[in-house]
Structure 1
């Protein structure tokens, strides 16, 4: 049995005020056989009124909300403790849509080229930091692309980088 303390924080900064900002966060550990959440604290800024915790189709906890008033940044943080006992976990067969290789998860040439240009170290943590910065540097902001009013929003340059495709490129 292992006790793990975790902390995760993300901040999104807009170049101007946005309003009518709807969001869904998927940053909470799952409670399942072999893993028990002991404590969990979630905060966000600006403060959301009327937000709610729900379960998605896979049983994961998600938090959804909306901020109608103007704001130029959005920050959320999740801190907690879980106990893991992998001897009690039953490892289910993955859904076909997530099994490799498949046409749904095959890395596109753009993703493969993106990965080749990163020169990643063998340390997974350092590699994740490099990937995160490279994705951030690759994105551009364009006003009015999603219907969020009066602000700039994240827009991909040419390819939507799906996590499964990036993962396959990293494993290649």
Structure 2
């Protein structure tokens, strides 16, 4: 168990003033079976009233609209989170999602949306064959997930600026490179091709200066996290901000505005283990 403090700042600069700017943020952590939020807050500039809501995946939303012209938009979220990944319990009682259970071989307690292909996480024929080969010697869903995570880690090179937020799992797989979002989408698609429910997670990690993405798979009893970018299981150094079927469901920041401005984004993240700060 660790107590983690975090500061997460995103600043957008527009090349010319924009107006009627509607935005949705998922920049605050939520309570999960392995994570308890002790304190959190978000500061948004320009100052504007914000509605705090929860989406269908249980993610915390900050929804607002800025009518006046502005050429800068920023938000800072800070807080304190207790993470205990070693004591994950079944999520059903805490999960806001309702619906029938998945019918796949490892989906006894997972919503069926996580077992089916989604916009950014659908496996093509080459990926399905890759999943079969990479998991041939694995036994059980968690062992399969670990085998596939390692295979994805070996298959893809971490290279910035060769993909973007619209890149699909099959495109990244064919390209053989990408960033954490692509690693996660590829692993999700591979797991689902074998009947294992999987979902996309956005969050923060101790020691990294940016946001990160990883995967949670359902082993028939509970959700378990695995990070194909680093090829390791999730531990107490990870803070969950949001999850969904893929990136499309749980982007940390999204919005629309009136104007034709270009955007430049700057992100800064600091996550500290409080025990190491004493």
Q: What TM-score range do you get, normalising by the shorter chain?
A: 0.5 to 0.7
Q: Mapping of 1:51-66 within 5 angstroms?
A: 51-66=50-65
Matched, 1:111 2:172: yes
Q: Mapping of 1:17-166 within 5 angstroms?
A: 17-48=17-48, 50-92=49-91, 94-99=110-115, 102=117, 104=119, 105-106=121-122, 107=168, 110-112=171-173, 116=177, 125=208, 148-152=257-261
Whether the 8 Å CA contact 2:34–2:88 is kept in 1: the answer is yes
Whether the 8 Å CA contact 2:12–2:73 is kept in 1: the answer is yes
Q: Displacement, 1:94?
A: 4.8
- Taking the aligned partners of 1:109 and 1:27, their CA distance within structure 2 comes to 28
Q: Displacement, 1:90?
A: 2.0
Whether the 8 Å CA contact 1:46–1:74 is kept in 2: the answer is yes
- Which residue does 1:13 correspond to in 2? 13
SS across alignment from 1:23: strand
Whether the 8 Å CA contact 1:22–1:67 is kept in 2: the answer is yes
| RMSD over equivalenced CA pairs, Å | 3.2
SS across alignment from 2:28: coil
What's the CA shift string for 1:114-135, capped at 9, x where partnerless? Answer: 55378xxxxx959979xxxxxx
Q: Say if 1:15 and 1:114 are closer, same or farther in 2 by CA, change over 3 A.
A: farther
Unaligned segments of structure 1, at least 5 residues: 119-123, 130-145, 155-172
TM-score normalized by structure 2? 0.40
- Taking the aligned partners of 1:91 and 1:153, their CA distance within structure 2 comes to 44
TM-score normalized by structure 1? 0.61
